[in-house]
Amino acid sequence: MIQAIGLTSDPRKELPPAVDDVSFEARAGRVTALLGAPGAGKTTALRLMLELQQGRGITYFRGRPLHRIAHPSREVGVLLGDVPGHPARTVRGHLRMLCAAAGVPARRADEVLEVVGLVSLRDERLDTLSRGMDRRLGLACVLLPDPHTLVLDDPAGGLSARECRWLYGMLRAHATQGGTVLLTTADPKTAARTADRIVALERGRLVADLEAADFARTRLRPRVAVRTPHASRLAALLTKEARTAQRSVEVVREGGNRLSVYGSTCADVGEIAFRHGILVHQLADEIGDMGPGAEQDLTVDLRADQARQTSDEGSAPADERAAAPEAPLTPDGEPVTAAGQEASAEAPQAPLSEPRPADALADGRPSSEAAGPRAATSAVDALPDLPPPISVRPAPSPLRPLRYELRRAAGVGTGFLTGAAVLVVSALTAVLLARIGHTPQPRLLVAWPQELPLPPAALGAGLLGAIAFGDEFRHPALAADRGTVPRRLGLLAAKLLVGSATALMLAFLTVGCNAEVLYLVYGPELAEVPADWLSLSASWIGLVVGCAWAGVLAAGLFRSTTAGLAAVVSVPVVVVPLVQRVLEGPSVRTAAGFPLRLREVLLSQWPFGGERYLAAVARVIAQPVGGALTLSLTALLCAYLLTTLRSRVR
């Protein structure tokens, strides 16, 4: 279950907080709706519960706050807004990436695709999906790690009636199996039909916390829905009887043979129709003032996949049966619940389930046999199927973040296109610099003009590093092992490792392509290997890898790809001049000759001439660019670790 206690957002500029001291519970085995008009604070409350926003209060998920859960994605499935993911990624590739992030087998992606009906679209890109398919993919992402609790923000927004019915059926099936479902909606009628308990917010404050039946009876406007071929006559009789009895009764003609009677009951309407010999096809209590014709339009939408009514949308189907006042029926003969929930003929709504004991199953989900008497009816069999539970969870592995990062990086063509662009720009720049002249050969091989702060390969490596954190920080639901932004050091290490490998590959390909192009255009003179190739190689590798790391750390620290790339460019533009000024300023002692003295200290013979590589690295660090890059990386890493520790202490 969910226990939200004292949720309060930080105050805004001269405005009250969006959420002010909100406390409620969402029990296991039930669907809880967080109801409120747009701007009432529903989304803010969810973000406070998931620790995505600063504020006061605490939320317990089965007795533990989110930051104390080892693997939050296996406890809480979250869907806020649209499906999180790169638009160029395929449906199956996106789910397989999330499988690696959550530590579940890759075959789990095919299982949830089968359940949500997206098998035929598994190779489609995310940006080509319709709104309904996007919602189905979002639910697949939520169900992927088999969580106990589902938290969804307006999951049916923009969906058709048919898609809404399917979605709410899936959520009801999850609750029937003992899970906890918390969703937000702005429609009180939808909340009354689909939820077991309703928590209403208004201007950030809690105004109601009631069972669905009690909420419908006290907060919504009840009415009697009547279908009869003598609608005009019955309406006149009802008005006359109300005027005679001096009662406030409103009769609304909704077109065709349908009437909505406000201020009366099924018994009174049925008695008047019986006394005057009027045939009645439907007599049912309904909840919610949907306005003239709204119920008719809803019925048409629910059956849009079967047939369209053409002449008289209000005419009654042939299989309608009259219902007694104490047991009203819908036009298709389905019973109406006390909360006004009208079951659909295609997918009957599951009855409201009672709370189950938490120990009915080992994973906290009670079986259907442990449900209340109403949940044991045949309506449960009509609920959609859920993915099979994950019985064996793999142990935490240090390779899991690495698998996730590899699938994230290789799942879209951004990295490949960036690498190709870097190679083309480097080759053209090298040819142009060789034609102009006055450029040293080492700078020719890496296509680094003296007028530019960084070569194209270093900028490309920094860009690839900066976009490494793009998906996670734009879409918090991708934070597989954290309710908030992913601050895990294992994920950072995986990103740094993949960024280093990508930068090394880009560095070698750039030098090789530039040398080959210079050889083809100008001959072997410009493609010769420099004499001090060892120190130059160390400098080149350190520069490219350092730029990639700077992009990763800055993007992870500032939660922005633009900030990551800006940090890469600021190293030679801002930090290098400062380092040069410090080194060239007046001082009593200098660090000149540091590489030579380091080599004197390491007089012992290293295997394979390791002292030479060590001396080359020392010379790189002693240079202004190397020192500035080292200083920047150290500062970024310390800042990242500081924010990581702060997020864990909270």
Residue 576 has pLDDT above 90, yes or no: no
Q: What is the mean pLDDT of residues 621-636?
A: 80
The band of 322, judged by pLDDT with boundaries at 50, 70 and 90, is very low
The average pLDDT across 182-205 equals 91
Range of weakest confidence among 68-77, 172-181, 196-205, 490-499? 68-77
Q: Is the pLDDT of residue 161 over 60?
A: yes
Does the pLDDT at position 440 exceed 80?
yes
Q: What is the mean pLDDT of residues 632-642?
A: 88
Counting residues of the chain whose pLDDT is more than 90, the rounded percentage is 31
Using the CB atoms, write b or e for 497-509: b if 16+ within 10 Å: ebbbebbeebbeb
Mean pLDDT value across residues 189-202: 91
Q: What is the pLDDT of residues 381-419, one digit of tens each?
A: 467 788 888 766 665 566 778 888 888 888 888 889 999
Q: Do the beta carbons of residue 112 and residue 170 sit within 8 Å?
A: no
362 — pLDDT class (breaks 50, 70, 90): very low
Contact status, residue 57 vs residue 202, Cβ threshold 8 Å: no
- What is the rounded distance in angstroms from the CA atom of residue 290 to the CA atom of residue 159? 18
Query: 């008719």: which residue's tokens?
Result: 296
Q: What is the pLDDT of residue 610?
A: 55
Quickly state the pLDDT bin for 374 (edges 50, 70, 90): very low
* pLDDT exceeds cutoff 50 at 316: no
Pick from 453, 462, 422: which is nearest to 550 by CA? 462
Per-residue confidence (pLDDT) for residue 331, from 0 to 100: 35
Q: Is 305 helix (H, G, I), strand (E, B) or coil?
A: coil
Joined tokens for residue 124: 């489609």
In angstroms, rounded to a whole number, what is the distance separating the alpha carbons of residues 167 and 336? Answer: 20
Least trusted range by pLDDT, from 194-208, 321-335, 617-631, 636-650? 321-335
Lowest mean pLDDT among 49-53, 375-379, 515-519: 375-379
Provide CB contacts within 8 A for 424, sequence distance 6+.
none
User: What CATH superfamily is the domain 1-71+151-156+176-219+349-375?
Assistant: P-loop containing nucleotide triphosphate hydrolases (3.40.50.300)
| Arithmetic mean of pLDDT, 42-67 | 89
- Whether the pTM exceeds 0.85: the reply is no
Q: Is the pLDDT of residue 189 over 90?
A: no
DSSP structural state of residue 316: P
Region 176-193: mean pLDDT is: 91
Residues in the chain: 650
528 pLDDT band (50/70/90 cuts)?
confident
Q: Is the pLDDT of residue 506 over 60?
A: yes
What pLDDT is recorded for position 432?
92
With 80 as the cut, is the pLDDT of residue 203 above it? yes
Determine the average pLDDT of the residues in 38-64.
90
Distance CA 619, CA 535 (A): 8
Q: What is the predicted pLDDT for the residue at 414?
A: 87
pLDDT tens digits, one per residue of 78-125: 888 777 678 888 999 999 988 888 888 888 999 999 999 899 999 999
- If you average pLDDT over every residue of the chain, what do you get? 77
Q: Which two tokens stand for residue 272?
A: 């008047």
pLDDT at 179: 93
CB 458 within 8 A of CB 544: yes
User: Going edge to edge, which strands form the sheet with 250-253?
Assistant: 250-253, 258-262, 222-227, 282-287
**Residues whose CB falls within 8 Å of the CB of residue 81, separated by 6 or more in sequence, listed in order:** 153
pLDDT at 340: 36
Q: What is the pLDDT of residue 626?
A: 76
Radius of gyration (C-alpha) of the chain in whole angstroms = 33
pLDDT at 481: 42
pLDDT band at residue 377 using 50, 70 and 90 as cut-offs:
very low
Across residues 632-645, what is the average pLDDT? 85
3-state secondary structure of 499: helix
Statement: residue 2 has pLDDT above 90: yes
Distance CA 91, CA 75 (A): 23
- For 477, the token pair is 């639901």
pLDDT > 70: what percent of the chain? 74
How much is the average pLDDT of 482-499?
72
Mean pLDDT for the stretch of residues 70-81: 83
Is the separation of the CB atoms in 364 and 237 below 8 Å? no
Alpha-helix residue ranges (DSSP H) falling in 571-623? 576-584, 594-601, 610-622
CATH for 221-344? 3.30.70
Pairing assessment for the beta strands 197-202 and 282-287 based on DSSP bridges: unpaired
Write down the pLDDT at residue 473. Answer: 57
- Average pLDDT estimate for 593-617: 57
Report the C-alpha dihedral over residues 475, 478, 484, 490, rounded to 10 degrees: -130
- Across the range 256-281, mean pLDDT stands at 90
pLDDT in tens, 538-572: 888 988 999 999 999 998 888 788 888 898 988 88
